[in-house]
Amino acid sequence: MSNTTFRRHFPDLAREIAALRSAPPTPGAPTEPTRYDRLVARNAKLKRHNRELTETLTLAACHIQRITLENQKLREELEAATGVARLTPIPSRRSATSSLHLSGG
């Protein structure tokens, strides 16, 4: 969520955060984390988690690509060894036109 959207939807929190940022720390103040501190910590945790998920997704996509290439190679070797080629289905005109009717096109 952008800062502008946050300020528009949560003006009270935005004012509170601004006040906490501008107020100097008072000596002897309690060391318990403020709402802002908890929000900053939670945001950092979510960013780390998001980065980890993005890395995991990228790794999974790489594995899928590798497995797909390996599968294609094995199919080609099988076809060469048996002398039987795999037939790929050709979409019929009827299924193409019915999909146009379903999509409203």
C-alpha 32 chain-centroid distance: 34
What does the alpha-carbon distance between residue 2 and residue 14 come to, in Å, rounded to a whole number?
A: 12
The pLDDT profile of the chain, 105 residues, written as one tens digit per residue, is 677 887 888 888 888 887 777 766 666 666 788 889 999 999 999 999 999 999 999 999 999 999 999 999 999 999 889 888 777 778 777 655 555 555 554
Alpha helices in the chain (DSSP H): 3-9, 11-22, 35-82, 93-103
pLDDT of residue 25: 65
DSSP state of 32: S
